[in-house]
Structure 1
Amino acid sequence: MTAAERIARDFTLLLPPGWARIPLDGRVPLRVKNLVTERVADVPVEQRETLRAALTRELTAVLESAARQGGLDVLLSVAPVAGQPVPASGLVTHLAGQGNGDALDSLVGTLAAGSGTSSVREIGVVEVAAGPAVRRLTTRRERVDGQGDLPGGVLTVTQVDYFVPLPGTRDLLVLTFTTPIEQLAPPLVQLFDVMGGSLRWVTR
C-alpha cells in the first residue's frame, strides 16, 4: 500500500445506527464472521444456521465485488429497519493523481462531461467537515434479470458521489453511495449527505 493509500484510510465519518464500515483488507473473512454472528444472535436457533450461511454468502459476494472495483472500505447497512433491510450501501475508493484542491471547479466540469450512461441531476463544490469537495448526484437505469420466483425489471439507481482532495497530494478520496429503490431515494440521499458531509481526516 502506498503512502497516499494509507492517508486515504485515515478518515472518520458518521455512521447511522445499524451501519458498519468494513475495511477491505486481509481480515475480511473474520469481519464477515463477526458481523454475521452479531446479526443472527437473536434469530431462533432452528433458523440460525440457514440464515448464517445465506448472510455469509451475500456479504462475501458484496465485499469481493467492492474489492474488484478497487475499494478501500465498504459502508453497509447490516441491520434491518422496521423488520426490512435498508437497500443502500457506500464504497470508498482512492483515485491517484486526479485531484487538485485548488481546482475543484475544473473537476466539476470533468465529472459532468464524463458521467457516461448516468444522468447528472446535481453537481458542484460543497463543504464537508474535511474541507471543500465535489458532490455529484446521478441516476441511471439498470436491467435486473429475474431469479427464481422473483421477476426481472428495470431499476432506477440513485448515486451520490463525494470527491474529497487528499491533503498534501493530487489524489482524491471518493465516497460513492447508492440505492436501487427509486421511492426511497429522497430520504436516503439526505442520509448520504449527512454521512458524506461528516467526513474528516484523522491526524496521527
Structure 2
Amino acid sequence: MTVGELRFRLPGRWFSVDLSTEASTAASISAIARDAVGPADDRATERATVRRGLREAVAAGAAGDIRALMLAHEITPGTPLPVTLLVFEPSDLRMSPAVGTEPSKVLGVLTEALARLDPEAHATLTQVSGPGVPALRTHRVEEVGRDEDLSGTRRLSADYWVPVPETKGVLVVRLATPLGDIENLMLSLFDGFVAAAFFAAPEASPLRRALRR
C-alpha cells in the first residue's frame, strides 16, 4: 500500500530546506535566511534567528525520518512572523498489532503513552480537528539565551501527533516560533495550519508521468 503524503494549506510565503545531504542542508539554510530576511547589515540579527531556528529543527528531527522542513518569515506581507515547520516520523514509536488503524484508536494509545512517559507534555495535551487530519497537540515554551548576538527570547514549540491513514504509523508536525510571548495567538494559528492539512497520493516523478501518457 502506498501511504499518502501529508500536505498543508499555508498562508504567506514559505521556503523549503534541501534535506538531501548535510552540505546541501547547511547551504540551503544560509540561502533561506538571506532570501527571507535580506542581505542588509542591519538585518544580521534576524538572519541569525532564522538560521538557528532551522538548525534546531533539523536537530530535533534527526532521531526520526524527516519528511519536510519549511520556514515562513512573514505570514502576511510587512508583518514579521517567523515560523518553522518540521514533519518527521519518530523512529522509536511502535504500536501494538491490537491497536488497529482507526485514527481515534491510535490517538487514544498515544494519549495513554504520553501520560506515562511525559506527564509534563501530557498536561498540555489538546485535541485538534478540522476538515483535514485529526491530531493531538502538546506544546512548551522555553527561554532561549543569548547566542550569535541574539537577545533572549521565549521560544514556543508545538508538536502535533498525526495518525497516517490506514496504518498504525504516526507523523509529528513540529511548529516553532521565537514569539513565545504571544503563545495563545500562535497556538491558534498553528492549530489552523494542522486542522487544514490533508493526506494525498504521492506526486509521480516527471519520468513516471511521461510513461503514463
Per the shorter chain, which TM-score range? 0.5 to 0.7
Matched position secondary structure for 2:139: strand
Whether the 8 Å contact between 2:156 and 2:183 is mirrored in structure 1 is yes
1:135 counterpart residue number: 136
Matches within 5 A, 1:24-173: 24-26=19-21, 27-29=24-26, 31-32=28-29, 35-36=32-33, 38-39=35-36, 43=39, 47=41, 58=52, 61-62=55-56, 64-70=58-64, 71-79=66-74, 85-95=80-90, 97-98=94-95, 100-102=100-102, 103=105, 104-118=107-121, 120-124=123-127, 126-127=129-130, 129-130=132-133, 133-140=134-141, 142-147=142-147, 155=154, 157-173=155-171
Whether the 8 Å contact between 2:127 and 2:137 is mirrored in structure 1 is yes
* Cα distance in structure 2, aligned partners of 1:57 and 1:87: 11
Matched position secondary structure for 2:11: coil
Q: How high is the sequence identity, in percent, across the aligned residues?
A: 21
**Number of equivalent positions:** 191
CA RMSD of aligned residues (A): 4.0
Gaps of 5+ in 2: 203-213
Q: Alpha carbons of 1:114 and 1:181: their partners in 2 closer, same or farther (altered >3 Å)?
A: farther
Instruction: Calculate the TM-score normalised by the size of structure 2.
Output: 0.64
Instruction: Calculate the TM-score normalised by the size of structure 1.
Output: 0.66
* Cα distance in structure 1, aligned partners of 2:127 and 2:48: 40
Instruction: Give the AA of the match of 2:197.
Output: L
Instruction: Give the AA of the match of 1:38.
Output: D
- The Cα shift of 1:124 comes to 3.3
Matched position secondary structure for 1:170: coil
Gaps of 5+ in 1: none
The question of 1:196 aligning with 2:186 is answered no
Whether the 8 Å contact between 1:146 and 1:152 is mirrored in structure 2 is yes
From the two aligned structures, give the one with the greater helix fraction: 2
* Cα distance in structure 2, aligned partners of 1:60 and 1:90: 9
- The Cα shift of 1:97 comes to 3.2
